[in-house]
Structure 1
Amino acid sequence: MPLIDYKCNKCGKEFFEIVKNADEKVKCPVCGSEDTDRVYKGKFYGNGNCSGNCSSG
């Protein structure tokens, strides 16, 4: 099960959630809103498939 970072569009809280499916809707732990978006952190290059030292750019 993936650990996904989210941000609530209603109150601005950033949080993480363990979900069964990455497309699953989650509720904000502060305000209870389901108006949340995934947060993508870090730099990503190429197609996302890393076969080596992915932290170097």
Structure 2
Amino acid sequence: MQNYIERSIYLHTFEPDETALVSRYLRSGMTVVDAGANVGYYSLMASSVVGGDGHVY
């Protein structure tokens, strides 16, 4: 991977403190709004946690 962000996301080292904070509050079935999604990291993370019963916008 040539890009720092791609590599960090792949290695699970991208924004570790922020990821831990957001992960602490997300639950299956929740609805999440990712305003200013940038590369979409938190949208992808949220979608894997909220699952098919939740929504990510």
TM-score normalised to the size of structure 2?
A: 0.23
Name the TM-score, length of structure 1 as normaliser. 0.23
The structure richer in helix per residue is: 2
